[in-house]
Amino acid sequence: MLSVKFGFGRFWGILGFYSSTNMRLKLPITCFILQIILIILFGVLVQYDEDTDAKKHHHGNHSKTKPDIENDFYYRYPSFQDVHVMIFVGFGFLMTFLQRYGFSSVGFNFLIAAFSLQWATLMQGFFHGLHEGKIHIGVESMINADFCTGSVLISFGAVLGKTSPVQLLFMAVFEVTLFAVNEYILLTHLGTRDAGGSMTIHTFGAYFGLMVTRILYRPNLDKSKHKNCSVYHSDLFAMIGTLYLWMFWPSFNSAITEHGDPQHRTAMNTYYSLAACTLSTYAMSSLTAHDGKLDMVHIQNAALAGGVAAGTAGEMMLTPFGSMIVGFLAGIISVLGYKYLTPILENKLKIQDTCGIHNLHGMPGVLGAIVGAVTASLASKEVYGEGLEKVFPEVAGGHRTASYQGGVQAISLAVTLGMALFGGLIVGFILKLPIFGAPRDTTCFEDSLYWEVRKPQSHFSVQLRRNDCGKNNKIMNHKHQQMIRC
Amino acid sequence: MLSVKFGFGRFWGILGFYSSTNMRLKLPITCFILQIILIILFGVLVQYDEDTDAKKHHHGNHSKTKPDIENDFYYRYPSFQDVHVMIFVGFGFLMTFLQRYGFSSVGFNFLIAAFSLQWATLMQGFFHGLHEGKIHIGVESMINADFCTGSVLISFGAVLGKTSPVQLLFMAVFEVTLFAVNEYILLTHLGTRDAGGSMTIHTFGAYFGLMVTRILYRPNLDKSKHKNCSVYHSDLFAMIGTLYLWMFWPSFNSAITEHGDPQHRTAMNTYYSLAACTLSTYAMSSLTAHDGKLDMVHIQNAALAGGVAAGTAGEMMLTPFGSMIVGFLAGIISVLGYKYLTPILENKLKIQDTCGIHNLHGMPGVLGAIVGAVTASLASKEVYGEGLEKVFPEVAGGHRTASYQGGVQAISLAVTLGMALFGGLIVGFILKLPIFGAPRDTTCFEDSLYWEVRKPQSHFSVQLRRNDCGKNNKIMNHKHQQMIRC
Amino acid sequence: MLSVKFGFGRFWGILGFYSSTNMRLKLPITCFILQIILIILFGVLVQYDEDTDAKKHHHGNHSKTKPDIENDFYYRYPSFQDVHVMIFVGFGFLMTFLQRYGFSSVGFNFLIAAFSLQWATLMQGFFHGLHEGKIHIGVESMINADFCTGSVLISFGAVLGKTSPVQLLFMAVFEVTLFAVNEYILLTHLGTRDAGGSMTIHTFGAYFGLMVTRILYRPNLDKSKHKNCSVYHSDLFAMIGTLYLWMFWPSFNSAITEHGDPQHRTAMNTYYSLAACTLSTYAMSSLTAHDGKLDMVHIQNAALAGGVAAGTAGEMMLTPFGSMIVGFLAGIISVLGYKYLTPILENKLKIQDTCGIHNLHGMPGVLGAIVGAVTASLASKEVYGEGLEKVFPEVAGGHRTASYQGGVQAISLAVTLGMALFGGLIVGFILKLPIFGAPRDTTCFEDSLYWEVRKPQSHFSVQLRRNDCGKNNKIMNHKHQQMIRC
């Protein structure tokens, strides 16, 4: 290890890279290089699709052009914006629960999401099929890019507080790539149905992140344990994230289903799954506390498990009845996970899962995949009528039976788990290289390592030094929790 | 009273029910039983409607199927999501203004909304008309369910801080049922127009809640008075709620109007009503303070009264001019209510209305109903043209005159007031039973009764005990406002 | 100056107007008069347009009526709501970064936006063309009114903390008027393309505001400097504003483009511009700090510059590649502005720009205008095909060449700058009149001047006075940052 460290030291030394947590060069260089590569690749590879291009949209004579209202924009843009809010506000604020890590939670979420959606456009475009060597983009590709980004942000939840922004960007580079490969195998090769991404997004993101955090295991993390806490208002900020995720999950699951009844149905199934999940979450949270008091961690997270678990079967004829059962179970599983499984994972398996993504995305994702497999295997022309083609084109076309489709769904879960765990293993070891400026064990869960934050101030120093509070004046009194930035 | 208490004590004693505020069994059992009943009833009664069912949507040959873009989803889903945000973030955060009751405000709002929307689907489906014994659901029923939920949350505002979550769930059970009955009488029997719910939602929810809080009157509530306050940041959180309600109210009022011009017109009327209301609110807030300073309570609440007051007439040809007059008056009435009427209600009528719902929903709701009645009575073919059929089908069809319709609207207000007050009376007495774990007079407006909250900490104890802040370590120092949860 | 002051003193003295900061009469009278004028003018001038009027919408026989789904409502309402959120939550919360000015930031933003959107409806309606003496309104006019409001809020950012609400209302009266004139010259007379308002909204609002704050220069503003700071949670509140602006900027730029591919394309171009801008912002923020730490000011503001800079060219065939280059540069320029230009503007040019609008709206707006001019001059039938008519009708119609259009775009920038600077000069001097109750140098950036705010409290006083915290009891202990309102 030491030799690796010094070997890299020589190579990166000139640039100030090395194990220092100072981001002065590391972060700008990483951002600039990544963004310039993205711009070049976009210049070479990316084109407007039929619905966004001025010329292609108006081919031939006017009478043959489809009416403007049938532009995919009007079918999908409202859903896209809901998904967009989930990615940036939902995930971002959900993670602000930590008392001194709000800037990083919402800020690094912002950074890696802005990067990932560009990179995902390329990776997904490449695997989903080129058009004469070009990637065609429109609102559907934007939604898909946001979806892929969601997967990265799930993994971020596992390593929250313990990684530098440069580590996170590199994690995103690799994870987006693997996500696209896995999605390609499932959707294109196997013909799997997974509109809401129980497998491709949640299961993948969760187990990838869990493996990464396992590899990055910190035996001395308890040195920062006192900062791995929430305060009153940070929990309220986190509820903003929770509620936006909860409210817009119906849009998430339905965003890229077929037009018409599948989109409508998916949104409705998810709505009822989430509602049922919320009641079972409150019940379990109170039941598992010796004094019956609700735990904000459960409410913030487990109440969302119903959306994850409806990700695959949501577009199918799951019925509101079925959706509610799924959501109900997801909430129970998730709270139990937070209460009993997370400590075991941490103590026995050395998996330090900051946000408990195993409980919110991991187990509910697997549940969703299983529900999807079962529901698919029960599909029939009798239930779906002509609509079967929209949901199971291969079954409707007679190329496979419903139970075969169910089997494919189950295999897809296994493939996803394998890809996620293997990928996380490799990427975890890459991220362990001492060149990315990871925080030390004593400075985890702490904004001031990467952000300009005025140090906590006592009132007395406020009183005395009021007029000195100039641009660069850092007041160093630690007595008070409140931090001031001038 | 004592005998009732002990009588129930014997019955529920085994389960740990009784007047204890410990929710360990009360809350889980209530949630589980309610949710399981819901699931069973959904299984028996609920089906997809034509626009959500895979089979029904594609009946007969393809050429007869309506184009996907005419699926009701694309007409209403964006409005639905706006309404959804109002219910969960709008109402939830509006009530976080209390300094130590943010978890409960946003958390209990979440719980009872998640329950109510399921229960409302059943109740409204039952009364709005069964299809061969089944309830058909789609995006419109989802909006209606959210509307009904809104009514429950209005009532929640009156009893905020003084009720246990179990009480709130039981209140929701009864209120949703009565809401559906009242709505059925108005919309189906009387042919009342009330798209934005000035009567069915706001007037009903407000007077129901006021009656409940009257029955639950606490003579010694001043024991908790020091907690019935806002702090600086809690007022900012509340503004999140206010703004989302304000911005999306045009979507709320227009969400279930007829397609096309009525939906468009309703949104616009509401937009102008709210804008005018905001100016009169600021004016009145400053005018009624001896030092001219604005009061956050008014801004947070009264500025919304314009949306409430445009709830009935919004879909009619009220004109932006008319809408602005309505909003202008609503803002004035609402601020005057907060300033002068609320203290009278509390001191003389023993109505302890935590959020002042009488000023935001009660009076403006009645105003909206009256404006609706007047506007309806002035409807004519000359003004509405062929569009009369969409707004007043009975008048357009010649079954009643415009002034008759106006009379029906006025009667509907009376019916609603009667239902709300009578219902609130009964439900208030039910909720008074000592089995629901209501807080004591000294522990109202206090999250720590029902939520896992680390007790307030002084800085000194932070300093000294930093490293002990383990999972279950409660620091009990009361000197500091900030609460930490680890 | 003295004589002017006393001259006005005599005139306004009776009404209690004068240099007092007490708003008791000033604010109510201003609000009431403005709102009543608005109502009267709406009554006289404003009518529903074809898509909102019940009669006009259903003219002639039914078969000739366009289908409901083609009502402009369904094309534009989701975008309108996104813009609406940007105006009220985006701008409002972006400015809550100041530690003691959150109520005013979000509250005055609310007030002047509610006024401006009404006034803008009239001014824009007047200039955009009357229909037999009437202004016709619908969802498009609502979006335009919100756009104009955005311009006023940009100017608000420059004078934030240093102006009374009455000053702001008067600023809005004049700025909206000038905005409409400038917009009229550009869009109607010159045939300029500026769908996302790089010029009409951002450049105009920024330079107008900068000139106003220049005229209102306060040499002794450093007396309030200690309050011109952020605290930890105020920065998180500001991030809510940032993220909503960032997420919905694609909707902003595309809200009033032509239906179909232009709307779709604009949203997508803006999406990629913003993503690239975010990475360059993070890079520059870290690079320009000696310790490599990110600065919240940059993240909150500069990351949005990509949206501003894509305002003009967004609807053109800019390509995602071009959009990303534009966004990338905008982020760099903006951070450099915050770091190096703002101090120069303040010290040398006496421009005290509280929010740094020159860096977020000024320079990126000019960049956007230039990019728009260049992109327009490169337009050709080859690239746009039949779609040329939707983006450049005059070029498609053969009335002007593409390079001529480019020249027009460049001239439009000069016109806008001239109008903004000249207008700001005049309006600045008007606002300097001592009748509007501007704060004194020592009470800038302070909510308690205009808002009912309980004074900061120490814990000890909390302990001792807990039970006295009645309705009108102000606790005056200054030791503690937390303010309580009861």
Q: What is the 3-state secondary structure (H, E, C) of chain C?
A: CHHHHHHHHHHHHHHCCCCCCCCCCHHHHHHHHHHHHHHHHHHHHEEECCCCCCCHHHCCCHHHCCCHHHCHHHHHHHHHHHHHHHHHHHHHHHHHHECCCHHHHHHHHHHHHHHHHHHHHHHHHHHHCCECCEEEECHHHHHHHHHHHHHHHHHHHHHCCCCCHHHHHHHHHHHHHHHHHHHHHHHHHHCCCCCCCHHHHHHHHHHHHHHHHHHCCCCCHHHHHHHCCEEHHHHHHHHHHHHHHHHHHHHHHHCCCCCCHHHHHHHHHHHHHHHHHHHHHHHHHHHCCCCCCECHHHHHHHHHHHHHHCCCHHHCCCHHHHHHHHHHHHHHHHHHHHHHHHHHHHHCCCCCCCCCHHHHHHHHHHHHHHHHHHHHHCCCHHHHHHHHHHHCHHHHCCCCCHHHHHHHHHHHHHHHHHHHHHHHHHHHHHHCCCCCCCCCHHHCCCHHHCECCCCECCHHHHHHHHHHCCCCCCCCCCCCCCEEEC
Residues of C in contact with B290 (CB under 8 A): 24
Predicted confidence at residue C461, as pLDDT, reads 34
pLDDT tens-digit profile of C199-246? 999 999 999 999 999 999 999 999 998 899 999 999 999 999 999 999
What's the distance, CA C61 to chain centroid?
Answer: 44
Q: Please determine, for residue B127, whether its predicted confidence score (pLDDT) is greater than 90.
A: yes
Check if B422 contacts A (Cβ < 8 Å): no
Residue in chain B closest to C453 (alpha carbons) equals B232
Minimal Cβ distance to A71: which of C260, C287, C324: C260
Contact indicator for B402, B378 with CB cutoff of 8 Å: yes
> What's the one-letter identity of residue B162?
K
The list of chain C residues with pLDDT below 70 reads 1-19, 58-65, 454-486
**How close B484 comes to chain A (CA, Å)?**
4
Check if C245 contacts A (Cβ < 8 Å): no
**CA dist C325 to A46, C253, C331, C397, Å?**
14, 17, 10, 31
Residue showing tokens 């499932």:
A186
**How close B162 comes to chain A (CA, Å)?**
17
* Other chains touching B, judged by 3 or more CB pairs under 8 Å: A, C
The closest of A471, A484, A445, A457 to A105, measured between CA atoms, is A445
Q: Please tell me the distance from the alpha carbon of residue A301 to that of residue A293, in angstroms, as a whole number.
A: 16
Q: Please determine, for residue B87, whether its predicted confidence score (pLDDT) is greater than 60.
A: yes
Which DSSP category does A468 fall into?
Answer: G
Contact call for C118 and B386, based on CB within 8 A: no
The closest of B144, B143, B383, B400 to B265, measured between CA atoms, is B383
Residues of C in contact with A102 (CB under 8 A): 232-233, 235-236
Contact call for A247 and B88, based on CB within 8 A: yes
State chain B's mean pLDDT as an integer. Answer: 90
Q: Please tell me the distance from the alpha carbon of residue A256 to that of residue B182, in angstroms, as a whole number.
A: 39
Phi/psi at A225 (nearest 5 deg)? Answer: -60, -35
Q: Please tell me the distance from the alpha carbon of residue A265 to that of residue A263, in angstroms, as a whole number.
A: 6
Contact indicator for A264, A253 with CB cutoff of 8 Å: no
Residues of B in contact with C455 (CB under 8 A): none
Which DSSP category does B304 fall into?
Answer: G
Predicted confidence at residue B479, as pLDDT, reads 34
Residue B164, classed as helix, strand or coil, is coil
DSSP string, B66-89: PPGGGSHHHHHHHHHHHHHHIIII
Nearby residues of C333 by Cβ (< 8 Å), 6 or more positions away: C305, C359, C363, C364, C367
Strands B135-137 and B46-48: parallel
Residue in chain B closest to C30 (alpha carbons) equals B283
Contact call for C469 and B265, based on CB within 8 A: no
DSSP string, A248-308: HHHHHHHTTSPTTHHHHHHHHHHHHHHHHHHHHHHHHHHHTSTT--B-HHHHHHGGGHHHH
Contact indicator for B21, B443 with CB cutoff of 8 Å: yes
Residues of C in contact with B268 (CB under 8 A): 48, 52, 137-139, 142
Count of beta carbons in the 10 Å neighbourhood of residue A181: 14
**How close C2 comes to chain A (CA, Å)?**
31
The size of chain B, in residues, is 486
Check if C115 contacts B (Cβ < 8 Å): yes
Structure tokens at A143: 């939604």
Q: In a mutagenesis test of the C interface, which of B72, B79, B279, B460 is the best target, namely the one with the most C β-carbons within 10 Å?
A: B279
Minimal Cβ distance to B452: which of A240, A264, A295: A295
**How close B309 comes to chain A (CA, Å)?**
26
Contact indicator for C199, C143 with CB cutoff of 8 Å: no
Minimal Cβ distance to C32: which of B244, B283, B458: B283
CB < 8 Å from B in window 440-459 of A:
458
Residue in chain C closest to A461 (alpha carbons) equals C479
Q: Please tell me the distance from the alpha carbon of residue C170 to that of residue C33, in angstroms, as a whole number.
A: 12
Using a 10 angstrom Cβ sphere, with 0-12 exposed, 13-18 middle and 19 or more buried, the burial of residue C386 is middle
* Other chains touching C, judged by 3 or more CB pairs under 8 Å: A, B
pLDDT tens-digit profile of C56-71? 876 554 555 688 999 9
Nearby residues of C161 by Cβ (< 8 Å), 6 or more positions away: C98, C101, C104, C224, C227, C228, C354, C439, C444, C445, C446
Structure tokens at B378: 């002035």
> What's the one-letter identity of residue B429?
F
Q: Please tell me the distance from the alpha carbon of residue C24 to that of residue C27, in angstroms, as a whole number.
A: 7
Tens of pLDDT along chain A (486 residues) come to 444 444 554 554 544 445 688 888 999 999 999 999 999 999 999 999 999 999 986 655 455 568 899 999 999 999 999 999 999 999 999 999 999 999 999 999 999 999 999 999 999 999 988 999 999 999 999 999 999 999 999 999 999 999 999 999 999 999 999 999 999 999 999 999 999 999 999 999 999 999 999 999 999 999 998 899 999 999 999 999 999 999 999 999 999 999 999 999 999 999 999 999 999 999 999 999 989 999 999 999 999 999 999 999 999 999 999 999 999 999 999 999 999 999 999 999 999 999 999 999 999 999 999 999 999 999 999 999 999 999 999 999 999 999 999 999 999 999 999 999 999 999 999 999 999 999 999 999 999 999 999 654 433 333 323 333 333 333 333 333 445 555
What's the distance, CA A339 to chain centroid?
Answer: 22
Contact call for B54 and A387, based on CB within 8 A: yes
pLDDT tens-digit profile of B316-356? 999 999 999 999 999 999 999 999 999 999 999 999 999 99
Check if A347 contacts B (Cβ < 8 Å): no
Predicted confidence at residue B484, as pLDDT, reads 57
DSSP string, B398-425: TSS-HHHHHHHHHHHHHHHHHHHHHHHH
Residue in chain A closest to C381 (alpha carbons) equals A55
Q: Please tell me the distance from the alpha carbon of residue A93 to that of residue B130, in angstroms, as a whole number.
A: 42
Residue showing tokens 């939840």:
A157
Predicted confidence at residue C485, as pLDDT, reads 54
Contact indicator for A326, A309 with CB cutoff of 8 Å: yes
Residue in chain A closest to C479 (alpha carbons) equals A459
Check if C35 contacts B (Cβ < 8 Å): yes
Residue A419, classed as helix, strand or coil, is helix
> What's the one-letter identity of residue A192?
T
Q: Please tell me the distance from the alpha carbon of residue A244 to that of residue A271, in angstroms, as a whole number.
A: 13
Q: Please tell me the distance from the alpha carbon of residue C202 to that of residue C304, in angstroms, as a whole number.
A: 12
Nearby residues of C159 by Cβ (< 8 Å), 6 or more positions away: C167, C168, C171, C209, C212, C213, C216, C354
Structure tokens at A456: 């906590």
Q: Please tell me the distance from the alpha carbon of residue B283 to that of residue B331, in angstroms, as a whole number.
A: 9
**How close B451 comes to chain A (CA, Å)?**
5
**How close C382 comes to chain A (CA, Å)?**
8
The size of chain A, in residues, is 486
Check if C111 contacts B (Cβ < 8 Å): yes
Query: Is the pTM here over 0.95, yes or no?
Result: no
Minimal Cβ distance to A118: which of C248, C275, C384: C275
Residue B484, classed as helix, strand or coil, is strand
CB < 8 Å from B in window 153-172 of C:
165
Q: Please tell me the distance from the alpha carbon of residue B148 to that of residue C140, in angstroms, as a whole number.
A: 31
Residue A54, classed as helix, strand or coil, is coil
Q: Please tell me the distance from the alpha carbon of residue B268 to that of residue C121, in angstroms, as a whole number.
A: 12
Q: Please determine, for residue B457, whether its predicted confidence score (pLDDT) is greater than 70.
A: no
Q: Please tell me the distance from the alpha carbon of residue C67 to that of residue C175, in angstroms, as a whole number.
A: 39
Contact call for C235 and A56, based on CB within 8 A: no
Phi/psi at C379 (nearest 5 deg)? Answer: -65, 140
Which DSSP category does B386 fall into?
Answer: G
* Other chains touching A, judged by 3 or more CB pairs under 8 Å: B, C
Structure tokens at A382: 């009798």
Contact call for A282 and B111, based on CB within 8 A: yes
Q: Please tell me the distance from the alpha carbon of residue A270 to that of residue A102, in angstroms, as a whole number.
A: 29
Q: Please tell me the distance from the alpha carbon of residue C89 to that of residue C95, in angstroms, as a whole number.
A: 10
